[in-house]
Structure 1
Amino acid sequence: MYERYEGLIFDMDGTILDTEPTHRKAWNTVLSGYGLRFDMDAMIALNGSPTWRIAQAIIELNQADLDPHQLAREKTDAVKAMLLDTVQPLPLIEVVKAWHGRRPMAVGTGSESAIAEALLAHLNLRHYFSAVVAADHVKNHKPAPDTFLLCAERMGVAAEKCVVFEDADFGLQAARLAGMDAVDVRLL
Protein backbone atom coordinates (compact mmCIF):
# COMPACT_ATOMS: atom_id res chain seq x y z
CA MET A 1 0.00 0.00 0.00
CA TYR A 2 2.89 2.38 0.71
CA GLU A 3 5.24 1.05 -1.99
CA ARG A 4 5.16 4.32 -3.95
CA TYR A 5 6.70 6.29 -1.07
CA GLU A 6 10.41 6.53 -0.43
CA GLY A 7 10.08 7.65 3.20
CA LEU A 8 7.55 7.12 5.99
CA ILE A 9 7.06 9.68 8.76
CA PHE A 10 5.10 8.99 11.92
CA ASP A 11 3.73 11.37 14.50
CA MET A 12 4.35 9.88 17.94
CA ASP A 13 1.70 10.86 20.50
CA GLY A 14 -1.60 9.20 19.68
CA THR A 15 -0.26 7.73 16.43
CA ILE A 16 2.35 5.11 17.31
CA LEU A 17 2.30 5.49 21.12
CA ASP A 18 -0.67 5.71 23.46
CA THR A 19 0.62 8.73 25.39
CA GLU A 20 -2.50 10.89 25.42
CA PRO A 21 -3.99 9.59 28.72
CA THR A 22 -0.66 10.16 30.47
CA HIS A 23 -0.32 13.68 29.06
CA ARG A 24 -3.82 14.52 30.31
CA LYS A 25 -3.06 13.08 33.76
CA ALA A 26 0.14 15.16 33.93
CA TRP A 27 -1.77 18.31 32.98
CA ASN A 28 -4.36 17.55 35.68
CA THR A 29 -1.62 17.09 38.29
CA VAL A 30 0.19 20.32 37.43
CA LEU A 31 -2.91 22.48 36.93
CA SER A 32 -4.59 21.34 40.13
CA GLY A 33 -1.61 22.76 42.03
CA TYR A 34 -2.48 26.19 40.64
CA GLY A 35 -6.24 25.80 40.86
CA LEU A 36 -6.47 26.03 37.07
CA ARG A 37 -8.82 24.19 34.74
CA PHE A 38 -8.67 23.27 31.07
CA ASP A 39 -11.23 22.52 28.43
CA MET A 40 -10.76 18.97 27.09
CA ASP A 41 -12.10 19.82 23.62
CA ALA A 42 -9.76 22.81 23.36
CA MET A 43 -6.84 20.66 24.45
CA ILE A 44 -7.69 17.94 21.91
CA ALA A 45 -7.82 20.64 19.22
CA LEU A 46 -4.23 21.53 20.16
CA ASN A 47 -2.94 17.94 19.78
CA GLY A 48 0.39 18.05 17.98
CA SER A 49 1.27 21.48 19.38
CA PRO A 50 4.34 21.98 21.54
CA THR A 51 3.69 21.92 25.28
CA TRP A 52 4.35 25.65 25.77
CA ARG A 53 1.61 26.48 23.25
CA ILE A 54 -0.90 24.34 25.14
CA ALA A 55 0.26 25.97 28.40
CA GLN A 56 -0.34 29.39 26.83
CA ALA A 57 -3.90 28.41 25.89
CA ILE A 58 -4.57 27.17 29.43
CA ILE A 59 -3.17 30.38 30.91
CA GLU A 60 -5.36 32.47 28.61
CA LEU A 61 -8.44 30.37 29.41
CA ASN A 62 -7.86 30.86 33.13
CA GLN A 63 -6.66 34.48 32.82
CA ALA A 64 -3.70 33.45 34.97
CA ASP A 65 -0.46 35.36 35.43
CA LEU A 66 1.98 32.52 34.71
CA ASP A 67 4.90 31.95 32.37
CA PRO A 68 3.81 29.42 29.72
CA HIS A 69 7.35 28.07 29.40
CA GLN A 70 7.60 27.43 33.15
CA LEU A 71 4.17 25.77 33.20
CA ALA A 72 5.24 23.64 30.23
CA ARG A 73 8.43 22.60 32.05
CA GLU A 74 6.39 21.54 35.09
CA LYS A 75 4.07 19.50 32.89
CA THR A 76 7.03 17.92 31.06
CA ASP A 77 8.60 16.93 34.39
CA ALA A 78 5.28 15.38 35.49
CA VAL A 79 5.03 13.47 32.19
CA LYS A 80 8.59 12.15 32.49
CA ALA A 81 7.77 10.77 35.92
CA MET A 82 4.72 8.91 34.57
CA LEU A 83 5.37 7.94 30.96
CA LEU A 84 7.88 5.14 31.14
CA ASP A 85 5.56 3.14 33.38
CA THR A 86 2.33 3.72 31.47
CA VAL A 87 2.83 4.11 27.72
CA GLN A 88 2.32 1.27 25.26
CA PRO A 89 2.60 1.15 21.46
CA LEU A 90 -0.57 1.54 19.39
CA PRO A 91 -1.50 -0.93 16.60
CA LEU A 92 0.10 1.29 13.91
CA ILE A 93 3.50 0.19 15.22
CA GLU A 94 2.93 -2.93 13.11
CA VAL A 95 3.27 -0.75 9.97
CA VAL A 96 6.61 0.51 11.34
CA LYS A 97 7.81 -3.04 11.92
CA ALA A 98 6.60 -4.20 8.50
CA TRP A 99 8.47 -1.41 6.68
CA HIS A 100 11.65 -1.50 8.77
CA GLY A 101 14.64 -2.00 6.50
CA ARG A 102 12.51 -1.41 3.39
CA ARG A 103 12.17 2.38 3.63
CA PRO A 104 13.75 5.05 5.81
CA MET A 105 11.39 6.12 8.58
CA ALA A 106 11.26 9.06 10.97
CA VAL A 107 9.25 10.33 13.90
CA GLY A 108 8.00 13.93 13.73
CA THR A 109 6.55 14.91 17.10
CA GLY A 110 5.35 17.93 19.02
CA SER A 111 6.88 16.41 22.17
CA GLU A 112 10.29 17.48 23.42
CA SER A 113 13.21 15.38 22.20
CA ALA A 114 14.13 14.15 25.70
CA ILE A 115 10.68 12.61 26.12
CA ALA A 116 10.49 11.22 22.58
CA GLU A 117 13.93 9.63 22.72
CA ALA A 118 13.35 8.19 26.21
CA LEU A 119 10.00 6.66 25.25
CA LEU A 120 11.21 5.16 21.99
CA ALA A 121 14.29 3.71 23.68
CA HIS A 122 12.32 2.38 26.68
CA LEU A 123 9.88 0.59 24.37
CA ASN A 124 12.76 -0.71 22.19
CA LEU A 125 11.42 1.16 19.14
CA ARG A 126 14.13 3.77 18.53
CA HIS A 127 16.13 1.55 16.15
CA TYR A 128 13.28 1.57 13.63
CA PHE A 129 13.73 5.29 12.90
CA SER A 130 16.63 6.98 11.17
CA ALA A 131 15.52 10.33 12.60
CA VAL A 132 13.45 11.74 15.43
CA VAL A 133 12.45 15.38 15.00
CA ALA A 134 10.89 16.94 18.08
CA ALA A 135 9.50 20.32 19.15
CA ASP A 136 12.89 21.57 20.29
CA HIS A 137 14.42 20.87 16.86
CA VAL A 138 12.30 23.35 14.90
CA LYS A 139 11.34 26.98 15.26
CA ASN A 140 7.91 26.70 13.63
CA HIS A 141 5.75 23.89 14.99
CA LYS A 142 2.79 22.05 13.51
CA PRO A 143 0.70 23.20 11.63
CA ALA A 144 3.84 24.65 9.99
CA PRO A 145 5.59 22.05 7.81
CA ASP A 146 9.03 22.41 9.44
CA THR A 147 8.92 19.22 11.54
CA PHE A 148 8.10 16.99 8.58
CA LEU A 149 10.46 18.79 6.20
CA LEU A 150 13.31 18.23 8.65
CA CYS A 151 12.32 14.55 8.92
CA ALA A 152 12.54 14.22 5.13
CA GLU A 153 15.89 16.02 5.07
CA ARG A 154 17.34 13.79 7.80
CA MET A 155 16.09 10.66 6.01
CA GLY A 156 17.57 11.92 2.73
CA VAL A 157 14.21 11.71 0.95
CA ALA A 158 12.47 14.41 -1.10
CA ALA A 159 9.41 15.76 0.73
CA GLU A 160 7.01 14.91 -2.08
CA LYS A 161 8.09 11.26 -1.85
CA CYS A 162 7.09 10.94 1.83
CA VAL A 163 3.88 9.92 3.53
CA VAL A 164 2.98 11.13 7.03
CA PHE A 165 0.89 9.17 9.56
CA GLU A 166 -0.95 11.57 11.87
CA ASP A 167 -3.80 11.68 14.38
CA ALA A 168 -4.20 15.46 14.72
CA ASP A 169 -5.56 18.18 12.46
CA PHE A 170 -2.45 20.36 13.00
CA GLY A 171 -0.24 17.47 11.89
CA LEU A 172 -2.33 16.71 8.82
CA GLN A 173 -2.17 20.37 7.85
CA ALA A 174 1.60 20.38 8.38
CA ALA A 175 1.99 17.35 6.11
CA ARG A 176 -0.02 18.99 3.33
CA LEU A 177 2.01 22.21 3.65
CA ALA A 178 5.18 20.11 3.38
CA GLY A 179 3.91 18.70 0.07
CA MET A 180 3.51 15.22 1.54
CA ASP A 181 0.64 12.77 1.43
CA ALA A 182 -0.94 12.11 4.81
CA VAL A 183 -2.80 9.23 6.42
CA ASP A 184 -5.30 10.25 9.10
CA VAL A 185 -4.87 7.32 11.48
CA ARG A 186 -8.14 8.19 13.21
CA LEU A 187 -9.83 6.78 10.10
CA LEU A 188 -7.94 3.46 10.04
Structure 2
Amino acid sequence: MNLISVLLFLSLLMAAVVTQVPKPCVVPPLMTGDFSVMASNGKMSTGTISYDAYGQKLRVRNNGVTGYGTSALDQLMLFNQEVFYEIDWGNLSCKKMPLEAYFFPMQVPSDAILMGQAIMGSSSSWGMGLLVNTWYEALPYNGTYSMVFSDIGCIPLTYSGYSPASGWTTVRLEPGLTELQKYSDLDFRPVKDEPQHLGHCQL
Protein backbone atom coordinates (compact mmCIF):
# COMPACT_ATOMS: atom_id res chain seq x y z
CA MET A 1 0.00 0.00 0.00
CA ASN A 2 2.83 2.37 0.82
CA LEU A 3 4.51 1.62 -2.51
CA ILE A 4 1.32 2.45 -4.40
CA SER A 5 1.04 5.76 -2.53
CA VAL A 6 4.63 6.65 -3.34
CA LEU A 7 4.17 5.85 -7.03
CA LEU A 8 0.99 7.91 -7.16
CA PHE A 9 2.75 10.85 -5.54
CA LEU A 10 5.65 10.66 -8.00
CA SER A 11 3.33 10.50 -10.99
CA LEU A 12 1.46 13.59 -9.77
CA LEU A 13 4.74 15.40 -9.17
CA MET A 14 6.00 14.60 -12.67
CA ALA A 15 2.73 15.78 -14.18
CA ALA A 16 3.04 19.05 -12.29
CA VAL A 17 6.59 19.58 -13.54
CA VAL A 18 5.66 18.85 -17.15
CA THR A 19 2.76 21.31 -17.10
CA GLN A 20 4.75 24.04 -15.37
CA VAL A 21 4.36 27.34 -17.24
CA PRO A 22 7.61 29.22 -18.00
CA LYS A 23 8.07 32.44 -16.05
CA PRO A 24 9.92 35.67 -16.90
CA CYS A 25 13.61 35.34 -16.09
CA VAL A 26 16.87 37.28 -15.79
CA VAL A 27 19.84 36.52 -18.07
CA PRO A 28 23.20 35.36 -16.63
CA PRO A 29 25.18 38.23 -15.08
CA LEU A 30 28.27 37.76 -17.30
CA MET A 31 27.80 37.25 -21.01
CA THR A 32 29.49 37.97 -24.32
CA GLY A 33 28.39 37.22 -27.85
CA ASP A 34 27.88 38.29 -31.45
CA PHE A 35 24.83 40.10 -32.74
CA SER A 36 23.29 41.19 -36.02
CA VAL A 37 20.62 43.84 -36.59
CA MET A 38 18.32 44.24 -39.58
CA ALA A 39 15.81 47.04 -39.97
CA SER A 40 13.03 47.53 -42.50
CA ASN A 41 14.65 50.79 -43.68
CA GLY A 42 17.63 48.82 -45.02
CA LYS A 43 20.07 49.49 -42.20
CA MET A 44 22.15 46.53 -41.11
CA SER A 45 24.88 46.07 -38.53
CA THR A 46 26.89 43.34 -36.86
CA GLY A 47 29.15 43.32 -33.87
CA THR A 48 29.90 41.97 -30.44
CA ILE A 49 28.41 42.69 -27.06
CA SER A 50 29.88 42.26 -23.57
CA TYR A 51 27.52 42.42 -20.61
CA ASP A 52 28.45 42.60 -16.92
CA ALA A 53 25.61 42.92 -14.43
CA TYR A 54 27.99 42.77 -11.46
CA GLY A 55 29.97 45.82 -12.53
CA GLN A 56 27.00 47.41 -14.33
CA LYS A 57 28.92 47.66 -17.62
CA LEU A 58 27.89 47.20 -21.22
CA ARG A 59 30.22 47.32 -24.21
CA VAL A 60 29.02 47.19 -27.83
CA ARG A 61 31.32 47.00 -30.85
CA ASN A 62 29.19 47.80 -33.88
CA ASN A 63 29.92 47.69 -37.63
CA GLY A 64 27.02 49.20 -39.53
CA VAL A 65 26.00 49.46 -43.19
CA THR A 66 23.62 52.11 -44.50
CA GLY A 67 22.86 53.68 -47.85
CA TYR A 68 25.51 56.30 -47.10
CA GLY A 69 28.37 53.92 -46.34
CA THR A 70 29.73 52.02 -43.35
CA SER A 71 30.41 52.87 -39.73
CA ALA A 72 32.48 51.33 -36.94
CA LEU A 73 31.61 52.36 -33.40
CA ASP A 74 32.95 51.11 -30.09
CA GLN A 75 30.72 52.07 -27.18
CA LEU A 76 31.18 51.50 -23.47
CA MET A 77 28.55 52.33 -20.86
CA LEU A 78 29.69 52.47 -17.23
CA PHE A 79 26.42 52.86 -15.39
CA ASN A 80 27.85 52.96 -11.89
CA GLN A 81 30.17 55.82 -12.93
CA GLU A 82 27.52 57.51 -15.10
CA VAL A 83 30.00 57.69 -18.00
CA PHE A 84 29.58 56.80 -21.67
CA TYR A 85 32.56 56.40 -24.03
CA GLU A 86 32.22 56.32 -27.80
CA ILE A 87 35.03 55.68 -30.28
CA ASP A 88 34.32 56.19 -33.96
CA TRP A 89 36.92 54.16 -35.84
CA GLY A 90 35.91 55.77 -39.12
CA ASN A 91 37.26 59.20 -38.21
CA LEU A 92 39.43 58.11 -35.24
CA SER A 93 37.51 60.21 -32.75
CA CYS A 94 36.78 59.53 -29.12
CA LYS A 95 34.09 61.08 -26.95
CA LYS A 96 33.43 60.88 -23.24
CA MET A 97 29.87 61.80 -22.30
CA PRO A 98 27.68 61.71 -19.21
CA LEU A 99 25.44 58.65 -19.04
CA GLU A 100 22.03 59.72 -17.83
CA ALA A 101 20.42 56.31 -17.54
CA TYR A 102 19.87 53.65 -14.91
CA PHE A 103 21.20 50.14 -15.22
CA PHE A 104 18.52 47.52 -15.75
CA PRO A 105 19.51 43.84 -15.90
CA MET A 106 18.76 42.11 -19.19
CA GLN A 107 15.61 40.10 -18.59
CA VAL A 108 12.18 39.10 -19.75
CA PRO A 109 9.87 41.86 -18.45
CA SER A 110 7.54 40.73 -15.69
CA ASP A 111 4.48 41.82 -17.70
CA ALA A 112 5.53 40.02 -20.91
CA ILE A 113 3.08 37.41 -22.22
CA LEU A 114 4.19 33.91 -23.12
CA MET A 115 3.39 33.20 -26.77
CA GLY A 116 4.56 29.60 -26.70
CA GLN A 117 7.40 27.11 -26.60
CA ALA A 118 9.33 25.54 -29.46
CA ILE A 119 12.45 23.51 -30.11
CA MET A 120 15.18 25.17 -32.18
CA GLY A 121 17.21 22.66 -34.12
CA SER A 122 16.54 18.94 -34.27
CA SER A 123 14.34 17.17 -31.75
CA SER A 124 14.99 13.69 -33.14
CA SER A 125 18.01 13.05 -30.90
CA TRP A 126 18.65 13.86 -27.27
CA GLY A 127 20.61 17.08 -26.80
CA MET A 128 20.28 18.17 -30.45
CA GLY A 129 17.54 20.76 -29.96
CA LEU A 130 17.10 23.82 -27.77
CA LEU A 131 13.83 24.47 -25.95
CA VAL A 132 12.96 28.16 -26.22
CA ASN A 133 10.21 30.45 -24.98
CA THR A 134 8.75 33.27 -27.07
CA TRP A 135 7.45 36.32 -25.20
CA TYR A 136 5.59 39.33 -26.55
CA GLU A 137 4.07 42.58 -25.39
CA ALA A 138 2.32 45.60 -26.86
CA LEU A 139 4.14 48.94 -26.98
CA PRO A 140 2.74 52.47 -26.95
CA TYR A 141 1.54 54.01 -30.22
CA ASN A 142 0.49 50.67 -31.75
CA GLY A 143 3.89 49.08 -31.43
CA THR A 144 4.76 45.54 -30.42
CA TYR A 145 7.78 43.36 -29.73
CA SER A 146 8.63 39.71 -29.25
CA MET A 147 11.68 38.03 -27.69
CA VAL A 148 13.01 34.48 -27.74
CA PHE A 149 14.89 33.16 -24.70
CA SER A 150 16.19 29.69 -23.95
CA ASP A 151 14.06 27.83 -21.44
CA ILE A 152 17.11 26.73 -19.47
CA GLY A 153 19.56 29.46 -18.56
CA CYS A 154 17.44 32.39 -19.83
CA ILE A 155 19.80 33.05 -22.76
CA PRO A 156 18.54 35.81 -25.13
CA LEU A 157 18.42 34.73 -28.77
CA THR A 158 16.26 37.06 -30.87
CA TYR A 159 14.33 40.31 -30.54
CA SER A 160 11.80 41.70 -33.02
CA GLY A 161 10.19 45.09 -32.56
CA TYR A 162 7.68 47.05 -34.62
CA SER A 163 6.38 50.60 -34.56
CA PRO A 164 4.40 52.43 -37.27
CA ALA A 165 7.05 55.15 -37.33
CA SER A 166 10.18 53.02 -37.82
CA GLY A 167 8.83 49.66 -39.05
CA TRP A 168 10.42 46.34 -38.10
CA THR A 169 13.75 45.84 -36.37
CA THR A 170 15.18 42.38 -35.73
CA VAL A 171 18.14 41.59 -33.50
CA ARG A 172 19.73 38.14 -33.55
CA LEU A 173 22.14 37.13 -30.80
CA GLU A 174 24.71 34.36 -30.64
CA PRO A 175 25.70 34.61 -27.01
CA GLY A 176 28.31 32.73 -25.08
CA LEU A 177 28.44 32.58 -21.30
CA THR A 178 31.63 33.86 -19.82
CA GLU A 179 33.54 33.83 -16.59
CA LEU A 180 36.31 36.04 -15.30
CA GLN A 181 38.70 35.19 -18.16
CA LYS A 182 36.61 37.46 -20.41
CA TYR A 183 36.11 40.12 -17.78
CA SER A 184 39.09 42.19 -18.99
CA ASP A 185 37.15 42.86 -22.20
CA LEU A 186 35.02 45.26 -20.17
CA ASP A 187 37.93 47.03 -18.49
CA PHE A 188 38.08 49.39 -21.45
CA ARG A 189 39.53 52.87 -20.88
CA PRO A 190 39.79 54.76 -24.17
CA VAL A 191 41.76 57.64 -22.66
CA LYS A 192 44.50 55.38 -21.35
CA ASP A 193 44.47 52.24 -23.47
CA GLU A 194 43.61 53.25 -27.02
CA PRO A 195 46.25 54.34 -29.61
CA GLN A 196 47.72 57.78 -29.03
CA HIS A 197 46.56 59.10 -32.40
CA LEU A 198 43.02 59.12 -30.99
CA GLY A 199 44.02 61.81 -28.56
CA HIS A 200 42.11 62.32 -25.34
CA CYS A 201 38.43 61.56 -25.07
CA GLN A 202 36.63 64.86 -25.27
CA LEU A 203 34.08 65.61 -22.60
Q: TM-score when scaled to structure 2?
A: 0.22
Which is higher, the Rg of structure 1 or of structure 2?
2
Greater strand fraction, Structure 1 or Structure 2? 2
Q: Which has the higher contact order (CA 8 A, sep 6+)?
A: 1
Q: TM-score when scaled to structure 1?
A: 0.23
Greater helix fraction, Structure 1 or Structure 2? 1
